[in-house]
Amino acid sequence: MADRQVTATGKDKDGDITKLCKAGEAWSPRQKADAIRDIENGLHTYFVQQPGTSRINVNVVNGTTGKYLRSTADKSSKNNLDNLPDC
């Protein structure tokens, strides 16, 4: 299992996360469905850690329209997947 740091995200026109990214990594970009499968099967973990903040894990959430990715809430909005730059 590998820990994969996420530094950017792809978003659709509604702002929903469609992929996770980190420049220079062979796994990047990782499509949402693949990242969900990685997390649920224990293959890889994904996390966000902006300078000066704690590591925040990316989790799979069951929503009304299906599964989606969400970072664990903390005191810094810089760690929110929605707030990361586009990839």
| Phi, psi of 50, rounded to the nearest 5 degrees | -80, 155
pLDDT band at 51 (very low <50, low <70, confident <90, very high): confident
* CB of 10 closer than 8 Å to CB of 62: no
pLDDT band at 78 (very low <50, low <70, confident <90, very high): confident
* Whole-number Å distance between alpha carbons of 11 and 1: 26
Residue 25: predicted pLDDT? 95
